[in-house]
Amino acid sequence: MIDVEDLIALVRNYNPRCNADLIRRAYAYGLKMHEGQFRKSGEPYFTHPVAVAAILTEQRLDDATIVTALLHDTIEDTRSTYADLAAQFGEEVAELVDGVTKLTNLQLSSTESQQAENFRKLFMAMSRDLRVILVKLADRLHNMRTIKSMSPEKQAQKARETMEIFAPLAGRMGMQWMREELEDLSFKVLNPEARNSIMRRFLTLQRETGDVVHQISGDIRHELEKARIEADVFGRAKKPYSIWRKMQEKDLAFSRLSDIYGFRVICSSVADCYRILGVIHQRWRAVPGRFKDYISQPKNNGYRSIHTTVSGRDGKRVEVQIRTREMHEVAEAGVAAHWSYREGVRAVNPFAVDPAKWIAALTERLDEGDTDEFLEHVKLEMYSDQVFCFTPKGDVIQLPRGATPLDFAYAIHTRIGNSCVSAKIDGIRVPLWTRLKNGQSVEIITAEGQRPQASWIDIVTTGRAKAAIRRSLREEDRGRFVKLGQELARAAFDHVGKKATDKALRTAAKMLGLADENDLLARVGSAELPARRVVETLYPELAQAVAEEVDSGRPVAGLTADQAFRRANCCQPVPGERIVGITYRGQGVVVHAIDCPALEEFEDQTSRWVDLHWHSGRHKPVFTVSLDMTISNDAGVLGRICTLIGEQKANISDLRFTDRKPDFYRLIVDVDLRDVEHLHMVMTALEAETDVAQISRHRDLTRRP
């Protein structure tokens, strides 16, 4: 374990004016609080907080962060309290320790909905003070370095959590070195065979080709000396996980992989960066499509550098990064560069990003929408690489890799996205699903009256665009549900001889604790609230009388005692719909819906018409209705459709396919229902299913009596 004076010496290397007394007191307090506690490895527990503090000194962080690292487990694991820490080390340290404790208690690898809410809490903690996350990342890095002492199950769980959450978060914060180490440590746990295989191939490659890194570094230095440019050159082989991921993404064997070596050239000025780029491109051939200028277009975590890939010795591709020393500090420390010290004072680095602005950019619009949208947006933001495109006026729009013109439109303004009908890239009209590339100029074409389509959800990649599209679709659905709710409410009120006036609906909404009559109608139309319950709320006595079960043998009123009846096959009327009867000699009365096209042939035979209506009350689910559906041709879709119908308390009495295509099926489903309200509930549930492309009531005029 590093002793306190050694730790202070590490801090003094970059901050000679550090508060050594504060660090000593925190060290002694932590040692006392954790006395008698041991890690799984058998070491004293306090070795862990000290190691976390040492990791943070590598990032030249301030005294408060170092002290927080020493005390970060005291509230959770010892008898220490927030008040104790505030009294002895000040409110700033107590707040930071409390923030780390709350993060530790979040179960980030829990179920999807819990994970979404926990991510929200994590980002709230970040927005208050980003140093909380810096301590947490260092804590996770040390735990991963010493993970061997845990059980295999715990190792796998921690490694997955690190790979999915902490490594991308470190990368998004600009701490690429930490991201790579966290990924590689997780890779070692989750897929040791693959990692060992890559390590063995590396050793074989080195035996065959010699020290490539040393050779190419020497070549670059030689060219810079000829051009009289002062710069430092560093080279390294890429991490095993980085190589394995590239093999998976590109489906390549190790022997076919290029650019497995990376080089950095660090100079003193921006002008030298571009001079060095010219020298390298003159000496080696540049690989097309592998040039990125993050100096003129920085990433939003402050990262600046020029990236280029060239064909080096023996045709081997190598990636070269060119940056100034100040840019390199930000590239190494990321957002943490904001707190870095140099020679006793806070380093003023012009390229260090303001953490408040960074977190605001990352969490922009995340408070809109539900927790699932939040989680989706956060993961997209954390894993994204960037592309930079231009508006026709020359403004730069920054988007994640894989973004489309629709993402571009929503990045400008939600109104532009919602009304987008097409796009031009570099003056050429392209489909909306086209993937954007760096440096392209994008023009969005809009049209009044255009509304977002449900298919757009699968086209866009940014959380902002997805949230805006879903919000617009919900509003559109709401309007449709309000109209449907009006019809259902009218029918339910007619049953008890009342009118569904605005005042009656407002009163019912108030009694049911809803915002207004439109909210009530939307819920009725979406089957969240039965229309019958609205009636019962206002007229409990009338509703109770009506609610008696109707005899399924005689559900229709208006027939004589000896008249037989049956429902018409062509229109299949159900209780709640207006009906009329047509008499047939020897067949009794056939009941049609009032809007059935088959009635046209009886317009001149008024003597055969019988005025009918459904008995009021609760009908049994015995009225068969045929539904015409088009569904995706995918595994499990038909099963989900049947389950959805069953969940609405409806029974499938028959099912037949009418068309089969490679991508869709068309089928007729016969469903036994109670009434028109039950029919709307079933159809609404099916319409909401993403794999149902189309649904309508099937009316077959060939099946007349």
- Could you tell me where the beta strands, DSSP code E, fall in 392-541? 396-400, 420-425, 428-430, 442-446
Question: Taking a C-beta distance cutoff of 8 angstroms, is the pair 59, 336 a contact?
Answer: yes
Q: b/e per residue, 158-191, with b = 16+ CB within 10 A?
A: bbebbbbbbbbbbbbbbbebbbbbbbbbbbbbbe
Is 181 one of the catalytic residues?
A: no
Q: What is the CA radius of gyration of the chain?
A: 35
| Spatial distance between the Cα atoms of 425 and 248, rounded to a whole number of angstroms | 31
| Spatial distance between the Cα atoms of 349 and 340, rounded to a whole number of angstroms | 9
Listed residue (602, 567, 558) closest to 587, CA to CA: 567
Work out whether strand 588-593 and strand 306-311 pair parallel, antiparallel, or are unpaired.
Answer: unpaired
19 token code pair: 């508060």
Number of CB atoms found within 10 A of residue 35's CB: 11
The partner residues of 696 in beta bridges, in order of sequence, read 628
| Spatial distance between the Cα atoms of 536 and 544, rounded to a whole number of angstroms | 7
Is 76 one of the catalytic residues?
A: yes
The partner residues of 307 in beta bridges, in order of sequence, read 292, 321
State the residue for tokens 């539900």: 370
* Helices and strands (H and E) in the chain: how many: 29, 23
The partner residues of 390 in beta bridges, in order of sequence, read 396, 441
Write out the H or E segment, with its range, that includes residue 155: helix 152-161
Q: Which residues neighbour 592 within 8 Å (Cβ) at sequence distance 6 or greater?
A: 568, 570, 571, 573, 579, 580, 581, 582, 598, 599
Q: b/e per residue, 617-638, with b = 16+ CB within 10 A?
A: eebebebbbbbbbbbbeeeebb
Q: Which residues neighbour 18 within 8 Å (Cβ) at sequence distance 6 or greater?
A: 8, 11, 12, 63, 341, 344
| Spatial distance between the Cα atoms of 431 and 422, rounded to a whole number of angstroms | 7
| Spatial distance between the Cα atoms of 697 and 684, rounded to a whole number of angstroms | 12
Listed residue (372, 378, 373, 376) closest to 124, CA to CA: 378
Q: Which residues neighbour 51 within 8 Å (Cβ) at sequence distance 6 or greater?
A: 2, 142
Q: Which of 43, 58, 76, 223 is catalytic?
A: 76
Length of the chain: 705
Tell me the backbone φ, ψ of residue 576, rounded to 5 degrees: 105, -20
Helix (H, G, I), strand (E, B) or coil at 38: strand
Work out whether strand 588-593 and strand 565-567 pair parallel, antiparallel, or are unpaired.
Answer: parallel
Q: Which of 77, 117, 443, 494 is catalytic?
A: 77
Q: Which residues are part of the catalytic machinery?
A: 76-77
